[in-house]
Chain A
């Protein structure tokens, strides 16, 4: 069983919809990372958070340490948001443990 689980695996939405991607982890982490991977393969770090909430443009990430759960929200979704979104647990050691990703497609 993967230590980091994401849901849903696939998500389709109409432009303008509010989107939520969920991530849960089974062991304590020092930080939760959200990454975005575009169809070309490039990976961009979106957020790193260890508590509370962070916002960047139309993206919002939240984390609940007690429940070992994080969510990534996209407001007013747009076709250019189509990508794979990956959450990863960062531990006090070195490596990230990755979820399997959520493939998002936003249609105009």
Chain B
């Protein structure tokens, strides 16, 4: 079936505005991850959803960042009052079971630019 999809592919916003990024995981995958990749830097973990368990939010950089997931489907990452340092590619991944031995499938990412 289809892979992980993300929308929008690109988002340009003004400092101080709120943005919502969407991720559609692979059907049947119980685990969903959000990562951030700033220009020239490595991947940073943001948040992880696994089934009906409480999400692991330990990677969220500030309380301006939040994420929701509807059941085992779509997830939305929201950034409030965006700052220029939020500019990055935001990547979503999903996996079948969500353990360290599980292959993660990545979406194409959303490139966020905060002016």
A interface residues, Cβ below 8 angstroms from B: 29-31, 33, 35, 41-45, 48, 50, 86, 88-101
Contacts and interface: CB of A to CB of B under 8 A. Distances in A.
B101 A42 contact: no
Interface string B44-64: 110010100000100100000
A41 B50 contact: no
Say which size band chain B's interface belongs to.
20 to 34
Contacts of A86: 42-43
B100 A94 contact: yes
Contacts of A99: 42
A45 B103 contact: yes
A33 B42 contact: no
Given A86-B42, A94-B31, A45 B100 contact: no
A99 B42 CA distance: 7
Interface of B: 31, 33, 41-45, 48, 50, 56, 59, 89, 91, 93, 98-106, 108-109, 111
A30 B101 contact: yes
14 contacts: A31-B100, A43-B93, A48-B103, A86-B43, A89-B100, A90-B99, A92-B99, A94-B56, A94-B99, A94-B100, A95-B33, A95-B56, A97-B45, A98-B45
Given A42-B106, A48-B101, A90-B100, A95 B45 contact: yes
Given A30-B99, A30-B101, A31-B100, A100 B106 contact: no
Q: Could you say which of B31, B48, B106 has the most chain A C-beta atoms within 10 Å of its C-beta? A: B106
Contacts of A29: 100
A95 to B, nearest CB: 5
A8 B41 CA distance: 15
Contacts of A91: 100
Contact of A100 (B42, B45, B98, B99): B42
Contact of A31 (B31, B101, B111): B101
